Structure 1
Amino acid sequence: MKQFEESMYQLIVETSTVLPADVRDAIRKAREQEDQGTRAALALSTIAGNIDSAETNVSPICQDTGMPTFVIHTPVGVNQLEIKKHIKHAIQRATADGKLRPNSVDSLTGANSGDNLGAGTPVFHFEQWEEDQIEVKLILKGGGCENKNIQYSLPMELEGLGKAGRDLDGIRKCIMHAVYQAQGQGCSAGFIGVGIGGDRTSGYELAKQQLFREVDDVNPNEDLRKLEEYVMEHANQLGIGTMGFGGQATLLGCKVGVMNRLPASFFVSVAYNCWAFRRMGVLVDPQTGEISKWQYKRGKGNAMAAADEAAKEEKQPEKRREVVLQAPITEEQIRDLRVGDVVVINGLMHTGRDALHKYLMDHDAPVDLNGHVIYHCGPVMMKDEHGEYHVKAAGPTTSIREEPYQGDIMKKFGIRAVIGKGGMGAKTLKALQEHGGVYLNAIGGAAQYYAQTIKKVEGVHFLEFGIPEAMWHLQVEGFAAIVTMDSHGNSLHADVDKDSLEKLAEFKEPVFA
């Protein structure tokens, strides 16, 4: 199979940079349904442009290229060890070429392998089948949406929905609750795969298997078909919306599978996937290793941006206050901002994620952060022949992980603005009030959109943490985000959570007999 490694490289690059046609269609429909002039409409417009830019630039749609997970069907007699070896080589090459972010981290030492290889990385699921070709499917599921996976053990009490029993109605409640709890932290509007039954491990695996189904397929099980249709109709009535900004589109796809269980156990496992739903598949000739067929229709061209422009022409968006800020930023400038303002940042910005926040709690910062901006981001970086770094992808990561640290670090170093996605909690909100700070929500997954605003990498500290966790110093121009938590105690995230919980309670009564 001389061409197999090259075929796997093509599969990885395509999965990372091009959304399949069924996913694009779902996003396009959401864009058409959303009210013009809203924060959600603005987010979907950015997403549409980002999808087209990623394809044009052959660069990652989202900087978090996740844990590469391969599902492989082989004819009897095919050497699976050779397949693993070639895929690992292709993974290393794609990482070196900036198509994948180095995401394999030693769980004990925190060291990043740098090439996406390590114990358990990538993930392989092999099965034999009676076909004469090799099928390889790949999903790249980022950490933000992976963290919003959830597993329920029935019977149980669910917030807003009451008792969920061991029946179809209890399952319905679990799925609705799973959508609610994801909010904007999983980069909604999203897709969910649901696994009913099994044990804790096989249930999650079944849920993830559902994500390989096409968005518009029909479940052959009549009960599950009705369940999927119910969830799609009613989850979008929760009002969570794109990025958790509120709006019409919260869920873009729901697929449910079922397997037998133990008498004592009844698990409902939900795998949440963001709008950047990166999964592809190929059939490969076992003799030559060449791709004979792509398993999903590949979405090509600039149809996303074209559809977005058409929507804008139908109805002009409402005017929204736009404020341009240049770091260092004063407390007076921050106190003038309110939830809903669009902030455009020019000048210097610093990235910081989990490792840096933990470090800064007990150490001094390597640069002056007074009046400056911290961006929750783990970019994809490439070094040129002159030793200079260039940004290949740079969208926000989920901010809530920094909740234990953020307020203290802002006060300690005089940081005035934090950028991320999904919002933060009460501790940070209180610190914003006391210190004079603001939280800005960038559009999750829009890694190409934000990479284009980064004009130069000024430097880097803590490369020993790994590229995603290092502290990058970036010169930006026209970096736009929305104020969702201000210095006056207002939080859009808390408001949407409260409203969606109230709406969730409307689905408490039984539906399926």
Structure 2
Amino acid sequence: MRRFEDSLYELIVETSTNLPGDVRRAIAEGRSREDRASRSGLALATIAQNIGMAEMEVSPICQDTGMPTFIIHTPVGVNQLAIKRDIEAAVRKATKEGKLRPNSVDSLTGANSGDNLGGGTPVVHFEQWEEDQIDVRLILKGGGCENKNIQYSLPAELEGLGKAGRDLDGIRKCILHAVYQAQGQGCSAGFIGVGIGGDRASGYELAKKQLFRKTGDTNPVPELAELEDYVLEHANELGIGTMGFGGEVTLLGCKIGVMNRLPASFFVSVAYNCWAFRRQGLLLDAGTGEIREWLYERGTGISVEEEGAATEAAAEAAPEAVPDAPPSREVRLTTPISEEDIRSLRVGDVVILSGEMHTGRDALHKHLIDHDSPVDLGGGVIYHCGPVMLNDEAGWHVKAAGPTTSIREEPYQADIIRKFGIRAVIGKGGMGAKTLQALGEHGAVYLNAIGGAAQYYAECIKNVNGADFMEFGIPEAMWHLQVEGFAAIVTMDSHGGSLHADVEKNSAEKLAAFREPVFK
């Protein structure tokens, strides 16, 4: 199998940088149902532009290239140990060349391996079959959407929906609740795979395997086909919208599988996937490793983007989820930012930032609670981002730089705002009551960038001014970035306004409308 490693490398690059055709069509169809002048319309326009940029640059669609997970079917007699060695070599090469972000972290020490290899990474599942070729499928599922996976044990009492029993209607309630609880933190509009039955481990595995189905297929089980259609229609009535901004499009796909279970257990497992639905597959010659066929339509030539610049509608974004808010406006700010400028901002304003900003994720926030910052953060901006970086003779370059989910920093953020005088925090998915209070007390705002738009934001970064805490690993280091024209939306302001709280409250009220039984 002389070509196996090369074929696997090609699969990784394609999966990371080029969304398959069925996913692109689902996103395009979602765009057609959204008001282009709304915040969700702006988000979808940016997403469409980002998809095209990633394909053109052959760079990661999203900076979080996730946990590489392979499902491989091999003929009897094929050396699976050799295949695994070739997978590891391909993963190492893809990481070195910036097609994957180094994401493998020691769970006890926090040390990043730097090459995406380590205990349990990448994930490789082997199965034998009686075909004469090798089927290899790969999914790159980022941490933001992985964290919104959820598992239910029936019967259960569900918020807003009441009792969910051990029947099809109980399963329906679980799935709707799973979409509700994800809000914008999983980079909606998203896709879900659902596993009914099994044990806790196999249920989640079944759910994730559903994500390998094509978006337009029909479930062979009539009851599940009906349930898939029901969920796809009615989950969009929750009004969560793209990025949790409110809107018409919350879910783009739903696939459900079932397996037997123990009498005492009834699990419903939901694997949530963001709009950056990166999965691809190959059929390989079992003797040479040569590519015979791509298993999902390659996205080349299928455009999600309409004519014109995707960001032209930014200043016209309408505050549909905050009926009493003033019209949105575009505000240009340069760091360091004054408290007066921050106090003038309201939820819905589009902020265009220039100047220096500083990345900070979990490791940095934990560190800053008890230590000084290596740079002056007064009037500054913290960007919740773990970029993909490459280093050459000219220095460091940003290959992908979208936002990470902010809620993980909720235990730290308010104290860090107070301690260092930060004026703006950028991330995705919003933050909680403690941070909102600190924004008001100290004159700061939360800016929601578009999750997954890693190429769009990388284009705004003009220089890497430096880095600290490289011992934390590239994603967790504190990068000092010079930006121009970095656009994000105020979703939490210094006056107590929170778009995230408003959308969640609104969607909770709509969720309650699905309390009564539908499937008898």
**TM-score class, shorter:** over 0.9
How far apart, in 1, do the equivalents of 2:372 and 2:30 lie?
45
- Tell me which residue corresponds to 1:332: 340
1:225-304 equivalent positions in 2, closer than 5 A = 225-301=225-301, 303-304=303-304
Q: Does 1:512 align with 2:515?
A: no
- Tell me which residue corresponds to 1:367: 375
Shift in Å at residue 303 of structure 1?
A: 1.6
Q: 2:24, 2:303 within 8 Å by CA — same for their partners in 1?
A: no
Q: Does 1:402 align with 2:409?
A: yes
- CA offsets 1:311-338 (integer angstroms, 9 cap, x no match): 999xx97684000110000111100000
Q: Secondary structure at the residue paired with 1:305? A: coil
Shift in Å at residue 304 of structure 1?
A: 1.9
1:15-34 equivalent positions in 2, closer than 5 A = 15-34=15-34
How far apart, in 2, do the equivalents of 1:130 and 1:33 lie?
44
Q: CA RMSD in A?
A: 1.4
- Tell me which residue corresponds to 1:412: 419
Q: Does 1:349 align with 2:357?
A: yes
How far apart, in 1, do the equivalents of 2:352 and 2:201 lie?
45
- Tell me which residue corresponds to 1:181: 181
How far apart, in 1, do the equivalents of 2:351 and 2:222 lie?
49
How far apart, in 1, do the equivalents of 2:151 and 2:409 lie?
23
1:478 to 485, 489, 500: 485
How far apart, in 1, do the equivalents of 2:387 and 2:27 lie?
24
Q: 1:102, 1:468 within 8 Å by CA — same for their partners in 2?
A: yes
Shift in Å at residue 308 of structure 1?
A: 7.3
- Tell me which residue corresponds to 1:429: 436
- CA offsets 1:154-183 (integer angstroms, 9 cap, x no match): 001000000000000000000000000000
Shift in Å at residue 300 of structure 1?
A: 0.7
Q: 2:179, 2:235 within 8 Å by CA — same for their partners in 1?
A: yes
Q: Secondary structure at the residue paired with 1:237? A: helix
Q: Secondary structure at the residue paired with 1:404? A: helix
How far apart, in 1, do the equivalents of 2:269 and 2:433 lie?
29
Shift in Å at residue 301 of structure 1?
A: 2.9
How far apart, in 2, do the equivalents of 1:304 and 1:423 lie?
26
- Tell me which residue corresponds to 1:73: 73
- Tell me which residue corresponds to 2:82: 82
Question: CA 1:311 to 1:466, structure 2 compared with 1: closer, same or farther past 3 Å?
Answer: closer
Q: 2:42, 2:311 within 8 Å by CA — same for their partners in 1?
A: no
- Tell me which residue corresponds to 2:366: 358
Question: CA 1:152 to 1:45, structure 2 compared with 1: closer, same or farther past 3 Å?
Answer: same
- Tell me which residue corresponds to 1:2: 2
Question: CA 1:175 to 1:349, structure 2 compared with 1: closer, same or farther past 3 Å?
Answer: same
Q: 1:45, 1:308 within 8 Å by CA — same for their partners in 2?
A: no
Question: CA 1:311 to 1:445, structure 2 compared with 1: closer, same or farther past 3 Å?
Answer: closer
Opposite residue 196 of structure 1, the aligned amino acid is I
Opposite residue 498 of structure 1, the aligned amino acid is K
Indicate the larger mover: 296-305 or 401-410.
Answer: 296-305
Shift in Å at residue 36 of structure 1?
A: 2.1
How far apart, in 1, do the equivalents of 2:166 and 2:307 lie?
44
Shift in Å at residue 432 of structure 1?
A: 0.4
Shift in Å at residue 443 of structure 1?
A: 0.1
- Tell me which residue corresponds to 1:151: 151
How far apart, in 2, do the equivalents of 1:306 and 1:408 lie?
43
Q: Does 1:468 align with 2:475?
A: yes
Q: 1:32, 1:311 within 8 Å by CA — same for their partners in 2?
A: no
1:318-329 equivalent positions in 2, closer than 5 A = 320-329=328-337
1:52-201 equivalent positions in 2, closer than 5 A = 52-201=52-201
Q: 2:386, 2:401 within 8 Å by CA — same for their partners in 1?
A: yes
Q: Secondary structure at the residue paired with 1:124? A: strand
Q: Secondary structure at the residue paired with 1:265? A: coil
How far apart, in 2, do the equivalents of 1:282 and 1:389 lie?
34
Opposite residue 506 of structure 1, the aligned amino acid is A
TM-score (norm 2): 0.97
Opposite residue 322 of structure 1, the aligned amino acid is E
Q: How many residues matched?
A: 510
Shift in Å at residue 428 of structure 1?
A: 0.3
Shift in Å at residue 385 of structure 1?
A: 2.0
Identity among equivalent positions (%) equals 76
Q: 1:144, 1:186 within 8 Å by CA — same for their partners in 2?
A: yes
Q: Does 1:46 align with 2:42?
A: no
How far apart, in 1, do the equivalents of 2:311 and 2:420 lie?
44
Opposite residue 402 of structure 2, the aligned amino acid is G
Q: 1:371, 1:416 within 8 Å by CA — same for their partners in 2?
A: yes
- CA offsets 1:428-478 (integer angstroms, 9 cap, x no match): 000001111100000000000000000000000000000000000000000
- CA offsets 1:15-73 (integer angstroms, 9 cap, x no match): 00000000000000011110121000000000000000000000000000000000000
How far apart, in 1, do the equivalents of 2:95 and 2:204 lie?
27
Structure 2 unaligned blocks of 5 or more: 319-326
How far apart, in 1, do the equivalents of 2:303 and 2:102 lie?
31
Question: CA 1:453 to 1:311, structure 2 compared with 1: closer, same or farther past 3 Å?
Answer: closer
Shift in Å at residue 307 of structure 1?
A: 6.2
- Tell me which residue corresponds to 1:380: 388
Opposite residue 53 of structure 1, the aligned amino acid is M
How far apart, in 2, do the equivalents of 1:317 and 1:503 lie?
23
Question: CA 1:37 to 1:284, structure 2 compared with 1: closer, same or farther past 3 Å?
Answer: same
2:497 to 464, 487, 490: 490
